[in-house]
């Protein structure tokens, strides 16, 4: 009888841990830029980011290009508010024709965060 209870307890813990792991690691929608810098050649931008909410951490990002736009989706770490694998600095390769950088904001929408000033090729934050 005690063996059955022990086995059930272990299986229950495994199931709960698995559900927590599966339910996290998704897209993050509250990412804000804390700082950024562009490499000398202009082909890489270094982003320092944080979360507007007090819960969670960023683990990785995925980039896609849409014409002259760079679309970035950030993903949270696994586990509830876990710092394991958390990062706040990312290097993103830029196409020479890239003029705008967008962050995922939920509901398959992206919000403009950085824009290249025409003529000077300098980047500025969009408020």
Ranges of residues in the chain with a pLDDT under 50 are none
CA distance to 23, 69, 71, 109, 118, per residue, from 63 (Å)? 22, 10, 6, 14, 23
What pLDDT is recorded for position 24? 59
What pLDDT is recorded for position 63? 96
Q: Detail the DSSP E strand segments found in the chain.
A: 27-28, 31-38, 44-51, 58-66, 69-76, 89-93, 100-106, 109-116, 123-125
What pLDDT is recorded for position 18? 67
Q: What is the pLDDT of residues 8-31, one digit of tens each?
A: 888 888 877 766 665 556 899 999
């Amino acid at each position: 009888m005690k063996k059955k209870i022990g086995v059930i307890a272990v299986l229950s813990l495994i199931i709960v841990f698995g559900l927590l792991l599966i339910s996290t690691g998704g897209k993050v929608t509250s990412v804000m830029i804390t700082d950024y810098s562009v490499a000398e050649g202009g082909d890489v931008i270094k982003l320092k980011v944080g979360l507007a909410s007090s819960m969670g951490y960023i683990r990785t990002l995925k980039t896609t290009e849409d014409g002259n736009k760079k679309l970035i989706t950030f993903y949270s770490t696994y586990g509830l508010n876990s710092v394991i694998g958390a990062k706040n600095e990312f290097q993103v390769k830029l196409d020479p024709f890239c003029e705008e950088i967008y962050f995922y904001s939920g509901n398959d929408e992206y919000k403009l965060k950085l824009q290249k000033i025409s003529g000077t090729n300098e980047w500025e934050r969009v408020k």
